[in-house]
A and B are shown apart, each in its own frame.
Chain A
Amino acid sequence: MHISRSLTVPQAFLDLAQAMICHSDPARFALAYRILWRLQGERHLLDIPTDPDVARARKMEKSVRRDYHKMTAFVRFKEVPQDGPRRAFVAWFEPDHHIVARTAPFFQRRFTDMDWVIATPMGRSAWDGEALRCDDAPADKPDLSDDTDELWRTYFVNIFNPARLKVKMMQTEMPKKYWKNLPEAEMIPGLINGAEQRVREMADRLASDTAPRFNTRLHAKTQAKTHAKIHESVQSRS
């Protein structure tokens, strides 16, 4: 069929549709098309967030936005050997939706001075300082390791406060499906299991009676200063 009439849509539809088409639900195209069709008669359709079609589309948009956000958060680059002045990094990530191309400019803006590749089951993105390239061919999981991960795990373990255990909260924000690609996640079970014991030990072990040596020296110094001051003021008065 030949369509001669041109369509006009509000900018808000383009933004919404661009997010929607990244969604993994096969029904996304039909829904976007229906909204496009309805917009021709109902110009203000997108202003009605309670409309069932709009509500569903917004839900898709939200899910894509969340996936985008989680990808910017949970990608972990590992350094790989490279000739030349630029350092090179590779990451493996498993997104829920088709967001590899959508997130690539973010990584370009942030990691401009290094070469990087992000490989996923839904395609790859890559930056070499000259061009940003994306494709949607499923990539294989590369075998990667990076020594700095060990320092990161050390940080993760020590920034955790065992007296505030809130596992559910952690999992809402960092669902288990991401754990297999996060170097720090292997520490989580141990931290959870050991937490109660650590808190109990802190409670059982009363504060030590002796302060460290530098504290004693500090006190001696301040006391000497105070004495000197008192001495001075006594002298100046007399």
Chain B
Amino acid sequence: MKKTLKQRLAILSDAAKYDASCASSGTSKRDSLKGGLGSTEGSGICHAYAPDGRCISLLKILMTNFCIYDCAYCINRSSSNVERARFTPEEVVWLTLEFYRRNYIEGLFLSSGIIRNSDYTMEQMVRITRDLRVKHGFNGYIHLKTIPEASTKLIEEAGLFADRLSINIELPTDAGFEKFAPQKHPKNIRRSMGELKNAIDDASELTLQTRRKKHFVPAGQSTQMIIGADTASDATILGTSAGLYDRYRLRRVYYSAFSPIPDSSKSLPLIKPPLMREHRLYQADWLYRFYGFEIGEITAGRVDGMLDLQLDPKLSWALENRARFPVDVNKAEREMLLRVPGFGTKTVDAILVARAHKRLGLDDLGRLRVSLKKVKPFVTAASWSPARLIDRVDLRGMFAPPPQQMELL
């Protein structure tokens, strides 16, 4: 018997949940005052949160979970016995528009298993985005997962309609690919990323006739790596990320803690997803992108190349580099203020503005909603000097969480 729309929605959203990205920000500003439906205004909106703490911003679904590939880590691999289903393009369009009208979502994140071949699958996905934009005047957000090995022409057409395109690298090393996804070729994935980067660069140049930029993937490209399925260390993973950011100017690399899946392949560990490790990787990724840290600096003090799970990577770096502290909040340069544990980028900006008008003390930092407990050992301020604190042998002990009893499971 044919499955109902509701049954298929259940299957095809269940199959999509291992994609971490739900971003709907950073695209061009649009509204519908001149027609159509939907808007995008810079920052994205999280319309709901699931009990896994993750934001629900987009209707994240697969067009189909049938797949000719057999990647060990994937819930949709061809050898898995999960239930299969398929949406028609019209159904995806209908769901997106009706969900959007009720303000459940910011837009669509469409991915798919690969049916027949890459181009056939990609063509169907491009058709969905074209219908949404052209036939229905949809101005909301669209993230399209491109299919590995799809033709350049299709990717370029997709870029005219989608806000963001992504292609998941999934495994941080080529060795990992060989072991877990033998049908995928990391070289081709990197080539696709390179081609997309070039296309984005081309579109960002002003055209001669209109003097306007072409609308092409305004929210850029992103990717995802699975954490903990293979044996790659954090240093290796972050090194791969840094390479991707630099070479292909990706907007985001997502880290997805490998999570047990139904009918899991026997070649994979059945473990609790390493959520804390995933969190630390995101923090390190932020330090690299917004705080002026090099990946080498972040992982230098770690013998096994693994980030400290107990302390955040900035604090961990500060404890390894005590000679650089304390930092004078009234004099230090922006670069060094950014390295103080407990200071975010906004705090640093506020300090720079405020100190032009007065000498800042700890009470001032408190009003900027800084955790004084955290920053005190690392800064000097008006009538505050931590000279003795920074030399304390037990400084780490002041921050590390108390030992916990192991969970029984």
Contact = CB atoms under 8 A, between A and B. Distances in A.
B48 interface: yes
Contact of A89 (B32, B84, B102, B265): B102
Nearest to B357: A48
Contacts of B49: 169-170, 173-174
A122 interface: no
A161 interface: yes
Nearest to B140: A110
Contacts of A162: 52
Interface stretch (B171-179, B196-204, B267-275, B291-299): B267-275
Interface stretch (A14-22, A195-203, A230-238): A195-203
B262 interface: yes
B6 A154 contact: yes
Interface stretch (A24-32, A33-41, A133-141, A204-212): A204-212
A113 B51 contact: no
Majority DSSP secondary structure for residues of A touching B? helix
A4 interface: no
Given A161-B259, A164-B52, A182-B48, A114 B101 contact: yes
Interface in A22-79: 44, 47-52, 55, 69, 72-79
B28 interface: no
B261 interface: yes
B104 A76 contact: yes
Contact of B51 (A73, A77, A170): A170
Interface in A170-195: 170, 173-174, 182, 184, 188, 191-192, 195
Contacts of A166: 51-54, 275
Given A155-B13, A161-B259, A173-B49, A212 B79 contact: yes
A206 B39 CA distance: 46
Contact of A215 (B13, B45, B79): B79
Given A76-B104, A158-B14, A52 B367 contact: yes
Contacts of A148: 98-99, 102
B101 A77 contact: yes
B50 A156 contact: yes
Interface in B356-376: 356-358, 360, 363-365, 367-368
Contacts of A114: 37, 101
Given A89-B101, A214-B78, A151 B5 contact: yes
A109 B368 CA distance: 34
B256 to A, nearest CB: 10
Interface string B5-21: 11001110110111000
Interface string B33-69: 1011111010001111111111110011100001010
Which of A110, A158, A173 has most B Cβ within 10 Å?
A110
Contacts, number: 209
Given A55-B367, A182-B48, A158 B13 contact: yes
Nearest to B267: A207
Contact-size category for B: 35 or more
A61 to B, nearest CB: 13
Contact of A49 (B18, B54, B260, B353): B353
Interface in B340-364: 350, 353-354, 356-358, 360, 363-364
B81 interface: yes
A155 B9 contact: yes
Contacts of A69: 45
A41 to B, nearest CB: 14
B51 A160 contact: yes
B131 to A, nearest CB: 17
A87 interface: yes
Interface string B148-189: 000000000000000000000000000000000000000000
Which of A91, A168, A173 has most B Cβ within 10 Å?
A173
Contacts of A206: 266
A203 B265 CA distance: 11
Contacts of A106: 39, 41
B31 interface: yes
Given A47-B356, A110-B32, A155-B13, 12 more contacts: A73-B47, A76-B103, A77-B102, A87-B101, A113-B32, A113-B37, A158-B14, A160-B51, A161-B50, A170-B53, A210-B81, A211-B80
27 contacts: A48-B357, A50-B360, A73-B45, A73-B47, A75-B103, A76-B104, A106-B39, A106-B41, A113-B32, A151-B5, A151-B6, A151-B95, A154-B9, A157-B10, A159-B13, A160-B17, A160-B52, A161-B17, A163-B273, A165-B52, A169-B53, A173-B53, A184-B48, A199-B260, A199-B272, A202-B260, A218-B68
Please list the 4 inter-chain residue pairs (A to B) with the smallest Cβ-Cβ separation, ordered nearest first.
Answer: A169-B53, A166-B53, A50-B364, A109-B31
